[in-house]
């Protein structure tokens, strides 16, 4: 059985305000207690990062940015560098979330630069890949996953522990429509096979591949029961402290079983 420690991320997206962000972070005691058998990170909006870091000081829960710039510094109005995230106490970052790939037109080439910046700054990047509904229905889902992975990882030689891959089918994000465990597991196999081709089998078997797309307190245990699914990247349900704790507990149970 794989020794990979499960990983759960809570992507708050553009939700909450400062007061509710700090309140939600301070309600994460149960989640923190599970850390060890599961790694947990939360991704608040940029303006709230420093405050959330302060609330979680001493907690094993990582705080991360939802994006970083492909540039190191300079005249890039509105952008936030990987170094700035580290400076305010972040240790993780989302790279290539579909709301940036599809919503903002970020290409694999841009994302490869972002990934490079994140790795060189010492952040744990969560590299997101996933197909649209149209791509799935036309039978291209696995090609899209392979192309996005190859493009985003181009030129990088990460160690398997230095990043996490998130498979997030676009059609399952925020729709309440979760991929079936079979579909998710099949996509995760494609991720691992691509990583084995790019690096080697040891790499592909050591790296964590997590699922995102309408994961909730009800669906988490069934998804995480699959050998290939090492946890989840959670949107809506991460805004509810109790639901997020249930999801983390499901991943923690898997972590315990793997020991
Ligand atoms: P939902 O869990 O709200 O579908 O969002 C998933 C996601 O995009 C996490 O990054």
Q: Residue 213 corresponds to which tokens in the numbers above?
A: 């797309």
Domains of the chain: residue spans and CATH: 7-257 (3.20.20.70)
Q: pTM for the whole thing? A: 0.97
DSSP letter for each residue of 167-201: E--GGGTTSS-PPPHHHHHHHHHHHHHHHHHHS-H
- pLDDT tens across 21-79, in order? 999 999 998 899 999 999 999 999 999 999 999 999 999 999 999 999 999 999 999 99
Report the C-alpha gap between 55 and 53 in whole angstroms.
Answer: 5
pLDDT for residue 143 is more than 70: yes
* Residue 251 pLDDT: 97
User: How far apart are the two ends of the chain, measured CA to CA in Å?
Assistant: 9
CA 174 / ligand 1 centre spacing (Å) = 6
Q: Write down the H helix ranges in 27-157.
A: 29-34, 49-55, 82-87, 98-101, 108-121, 133-137, 141-153
Taking residue 208's Cβ as centre, other Cβ atoms within 10 Å add up to: 20
Closest atom, ligand 1, to C-alpha of 214? 4
- pLDDT tens across 202-234, in order? 999 999 999 999 999 999 999 999 999 999 999
Share of the chain above pLDDT 90, in %: 94
Ligand 1 probe mutation, 233, 239, 240, 243, most atoms within 8 A of CB:
233
- Among 199, 232, 229, which Cα is nearest to 217's? 232
* Residue 1 pLDDT: 59
User: Do residues 82 and 68 make contact, with C-beta atoms less than 8 angstroms apart?
Assistant: yes
* Residue 178 pLDDT: 84
Work out the angle at residue 172's Cα, subtended by the Cα atoms of residues 171 and 174, and round it to the nearest 5 degrees.
105
Average pLDDT over residues 167-185: 92
């Amino acid at each position: 059985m794989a020794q990979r420690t499960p990983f759960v991320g809570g992507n708050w997206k553009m939700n909450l305000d400062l007061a509710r962000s700090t309140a939600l972070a301070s309600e994460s005691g149960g989640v923190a207690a599970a850390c060890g058998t599961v790694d947990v990170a939360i991704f608040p909006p940029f303006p709230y990062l420093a405050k959330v870091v302060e609330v979680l000081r001493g907690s094993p829960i990582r705080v991360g940015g939802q994006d970083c710039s492909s540039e190191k510094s300079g005249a890039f109005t509105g952008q936030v560098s990987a170094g700035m995230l580290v400076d305010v106490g972040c240790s993780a970052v989302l790279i290539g979330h579909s709301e940036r790939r599809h919503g903002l037109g970020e290409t694999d080439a841009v994302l490869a630069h972002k990934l490079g910046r994140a790795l060189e700054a010492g952040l744990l990047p969560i590299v997101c890949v996933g197909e649209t509904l149209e791509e799935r229905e036309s039978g291209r889902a696995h090609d899209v996953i392979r192309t996005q992975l190859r493009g985003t990882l181009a030129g990088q030689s990460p160690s398997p522990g230095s990043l996490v891959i998130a498979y997030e089918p676009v059609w399952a994000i925020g729709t309440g429509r979760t991929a079936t465990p079979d579909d998710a597991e099949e996509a995760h196999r494609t991720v691992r096979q691509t990583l084995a081709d790019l690096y080697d089998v040891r790499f592909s078997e050591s790296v964590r591949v997590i699922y995102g797309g309408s994961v909730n307190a009800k669906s988490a245990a069934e998804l995480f029961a699959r050998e290939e699914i090492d946890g989840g990247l959670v949107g809506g349900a991460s805004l509810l402290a109790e639901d997020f704790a249930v999801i983390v507990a499901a991943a923690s149970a898997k972590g315990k079983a793997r020991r």
